């Protein structure tokens, strides 16, 4: 295992060993290479004339660009358009988003890290599959589920999908069926992943408190 990945796993284990247990083999092996990040930081300090470390060129006014391209974006500053975006998203956006999640759902006050920007939901789900599920792990879903889960988690990721009845006889979400399926699936290798997708696709249903 790469030394940086090992170091990250040690940090996670210290903060919360359960989270380390949740990671897939791939999730445990991932790391952010230090090279380019370190070089960019160094250039920020020492490159006073041009900084071309990350594939863009800057001069004293900021990023260099073609006027013909900038014409399409005149309501935005060049510094917000032309440089590479950080791979996890802009820090100020991530911070604001975290604040919004905390405001909208105060019960999450147990603490969570800065959200990561993804290319829409499907990309986020694929990252979850890669980071948290090994081939053969079980994904628990209601029997009414968005079809692309099969492609993302099962066809690509090799997960086993276990489904439970979506609605009980009263027309509410079948919580008992969910719990039974979780208990049953947890017997297989001691680990399950559950997606709670609300509003549910295809039914549009969202559970109520009672």
The residues binding ligand PLP (CB under 6 A) are 120-122, 146, 197, 201
Greatest C-alpha distance within the chain: 71
**Of 53 and 201, CB closest to ligand PLP:** 201
Phi, psi of 144 (to 5 degrees): -105, 105
Q: Are 28 and 20 in contact (CB under 8 A)?
A: yes
CB of 197 to ligand PLP, least distance (A): 5
Identify which of residues 165 and 197 has a Cβ nearer to ligand PLP in the complex: 197
Contact 162, 138 (CB under 8 A): yes
CB of 75 to ligand PLP, least distance (A): 25
**DSSP letter string over 108-125?**
GTT--------SHHHHHH
Q: List 163's β-bridge partners, or say none.
A: 141
**Burial grade of 79 (CB within 10 A; 0-12, 13-18, 19 or more):** exposed
Identity of the residue, 28 or 94, whose beta carbon is nearer to ligand PLP in the bound complex: 94
Of 20 and 195, CB closest to ligand PLP: 195
Rounded least distance, CB 94 to ligand PLP, Å? 18
Closest approach of ligand PLP to the CB of residue 10, in Å: 34
Shortest spacing between CB 195 and ligand PLP, in angstroms = 9
Using the minimum distance from each CB to ligand PLP, give the nearer residue, 40 or 122: 122
Q: How far apart are the first and last CA of the chain?
A: 48
């Amino acid at each position: 295992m790469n030394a940086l990945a090992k170091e990250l796993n040690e940090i996670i284990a210290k903060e919360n060993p359960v989270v380390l247990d949740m990671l897939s083999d791939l999730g445990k092996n991932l790391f952010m290479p230090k090279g380019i990040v370190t070089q960019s930081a160094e250039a920020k300090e020492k490159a006073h004339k041009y900084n071309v470390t990350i594939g863009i060129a800057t001069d004293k006014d900021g990023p260099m660009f073609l006027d013909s391209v900038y014409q399409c974006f005149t309501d935005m500053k060049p510094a917000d358009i032309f440089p590479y975006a950080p791979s996890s998203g802009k820090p100020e956006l991530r911070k604001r988003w975290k604040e919004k999640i905390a405001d909208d759902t105060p019960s999450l006050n147990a603490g969570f890290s800065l959200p990561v920007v993804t290319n829409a939901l499907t990309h986020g789900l694929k990252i979850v599959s890669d980071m948290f599920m090994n081939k053969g792990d079980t994904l628990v879903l209601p029997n009414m589920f968005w079809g692309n889960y099969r492609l993302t988690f099962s066809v690509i990721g090799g997960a086993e999908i276990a489904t439970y009845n979506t609605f009980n006889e009263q027309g509410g979400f079948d919580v008992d069926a969910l719990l039974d399926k979780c208990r049953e699936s947890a017997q297989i290798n001691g680990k399950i992943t559950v997606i709670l997708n609300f509003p549910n696709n295809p039914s549009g249903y969202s559970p109520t408190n009672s």
